[in-house]
Amino acid sequence: MRETYVLINLYPLIKCSTGISVFDQLEGNIWLDGKIIPWNSAKVHIMTHALHYGTSVYEGIRSRNTTLFRAPLHYRRFQQSAAFLDFEVPYSISTLVNATQLLLDAGHYNFGYIRALAWCGSKSMVVSHRNSNVHTAIMIWERPMPYPPQIYQHGVTLHLASWRRPCPSSAPVHSKASGLYMISAMAKRRAELEGFDDAILLDTKDRIAEASSSNIFFVREGTLQTPFPHSFLKGLTRAFVLEQAKEEGIPVIENDIYMSDMPSMEACFLTGTAVGILPVASVRTAECLYQFKPDSITKRLQILHQKAFCIF
C-alpha cells in the first residue's frame, strides 16, 4: 500500500518535546467573544455544555495573504448551523467577517485557514441547552493544501467505511455541527490505519453520501454526477463546482448513486474547503477495487478552483 499523507506534518507548527505539533501553543491572537486575546490565553472550562453534550458548530474558511474567500457565505452557513442546533450565534455576519479580516491583516499568513467556532458555555449543565450562554471564537493558522502537488494530479485512495451517515430524522445532518464529525474522525482514522488516505461513506439507505469530510463527484460520459444531499452538508466548494460547471456548459446531475454504479464511473474527485478539488485514484471495498483517472472535466475544474482561490 502506498504512503498515506497526514495533514499535520505538512505545515509548520510549534512542537512539544515529543515532536508532536500542539495547536494550543501557536503564535498570534484569537478573537473570542468580541475581544482579541493572545493565542495561548484562549481557555475553555471543562464544565462547558458543548464539551459534555456536543452543542457546538464551526466553519472553515480559506485565505491567501490578506484575501478572504467566500467569508459571508461561510458565516451565513455558520449561523444556519447553530439554528439547526436551536441556538443563536450572537454576532452578525458583517461583525464576524470584519473580525476575521482584522486577525488576517495582523497575522501575515500565506495560506491562512480560519476556524470559527460557536458553542454553548458553562451557564447550564443539564442535557437541554435552553438556558446556556453562547461563546464565539475565530482563529487563524497557517495551513497550505493538505496533500503534495502530485496527489492533486494522480489522486487519493479511499476505502468503504463501515460507518454510515445518519438519516435526517436522527441528526441535524445539514448543520456543520461538531458532534457529527465524530463519525468523520472514526472513518478517516480507520482508513489511515488500513493504509488509505480517506473513506467513502454510505447513508442508511445504501446510497453514496460523501468522504469523511468532503463531498464527492463522479464523471460519466461527459456528465458530472454528485449525490443528492439527503444526509450530509452541502459544501461551499461543492457549490463552487456546480456554479463553474454551469458556466462551462458541463452537464450536472444530482441523484442517488450506489456502489453498484461504480464500474460505469470514469473519474472521481472530492471537494472541500480544506482539500480543494482532489482527484480520487481508487475506491476499495471488501470485494472490489474501483480505479479512476482524472479526466478533462476534473482538470478543468481544478484549474478554475486554483485560480479563484490562489492555490499553490
| Domain membership flag for residue 32 | yes
CATH number of the domain at 170, please: 3.20.10.10
Q: Are residues 106 and 48 in the same domain?
A: yes
12, 122: one domain: yes
The CATH number of residue 108's host domain is 3.30.470.10
Same domain, 17 and 43: yes
pLDDT recorded at residue 3: 44
Assess whether 98 and 244 both reside in one domain. Answer: no
Residue 270 lies in a domain: yes
Please check whether residue 220 lies inside any domain of the structure: yes
Q: Which one of 105, 126, 142 terminates a domain? A: 142
Asked whether residue 22 is assigned to any structural domain, the reply reads yes
Please tell me the total count of domains within the chain.
Answer: 2
Same domain, 209 and 176: yes
The domain boundary, picked from 98, 115, 142, lies at: 142
Is 296 exposed, middle or buried, given 0-12, 13-18 or 19+ CB atoms closer than 10 A?
Answer: exposed
Is residue 240 within 8 A of residue 202, CB to CB? The reply is no
Q: Could you say which residues of the chain have pLDDT below 50?
A: 1-13, 15-17
pLDDT given for residue 1 in this prediction: 39
d(CA 129, CA 133) in angstroms, rounded, equals 8
Residue with cell 471488501: 286
> 113 with 159, same domain?
no
Q: Is residue 71 part of a domain?
A: yes
Closest CA to 29 of 140, 142, 143, 144: 140
For residue 91, the SS3 value is coil
- Same domain flag for 221 and 242: yes
Q: Is residue 170 included in any domain, yes or no?
A: yes
* pLDDT value at residue 235: 97
pTM of model > 0.75: yes
Q: Are 139 and 114 in contact (CB under 8 A)?
A: yes
Among 142, 157, 185, the domain boundary falls at 142
Domain presence at residue 1: no
Q: What is the pLDDT of residue 19?
A: 54
pLDDT in tens, 85-108: 999 999 999 999 999 999 999 998
Are both 131 and 199 inside the same structural domain?
no
67-68/56-64 β-pairing: antiparallel
Domain of residue 222, residue span:
149-309
Q: Tell me: do 137 and 153 sit in the same domain.
A: no
Q: Assess whether 133 and 174 both reside in one domain.
A: no
Are 182 and 289 in a shared domain?
yes
- pLDDT tens digits, one per residue of 131-146: 999 999 999 999 999 9
302 and 196 in a common domain:
yes
Whether 2 maps to a domain, the answer reads no
